[in-house]
Amino acid sequence: MTRGKLFVISGPSGAGKGTICKRLLEKDSNIRFSVSMTTRLPREGEVEGVDYYFVDKTEFEQLLINGGLLEHNRYLDNFYGTPRKQVLGWIEEGYNVILEIDYHGAFQVRDAYPDCVLIFIMPPSIEELEARITGRGTETEEVRERRLKEALGEIAQAEKYDYTVVNDNLDAAVDRVSQIMKEEQNVISINQ
Binding site for ligand 5GP (CB under 6 A): 13, 36, 40, 71, 73, 75, 80-82, 100-102, 104-105
CB of 61 to ligand 5GP, least distance (A): 15
CB of 69 to ligand 5GP, least distance (A): 8
Nearer to ligand 5GP, 29 or 140 (CB): 140
Nearer to ligand 5GP, 9 or 174 (CB): 9
Q: For the chain, report the end-to-end CA distance as a whole number of angstroms.
A: 10
CB of 1 to ligand 5GP, least distance (A): 27
Nearer to ligand 5GP, 98 or 174 (CB): 98
Residue nearest to ligand 5GP (CB): 105
User: Quick one: CA torsion of 51, 86, 57, 108, rounded to 10 degrees?
Assistant: -100
Nearer to ligand 5GP, 101 or 148 (CB): 101
User: 81-84, long-range: CB within 8 Å, 24+ apart, which pairs?
Assistant: 81/36, 81/37, 81/38, 81/105, 82/34, 82/36, 82/37, 82/109, 83/34, 83/35, 83/36, 83/37, 83/53
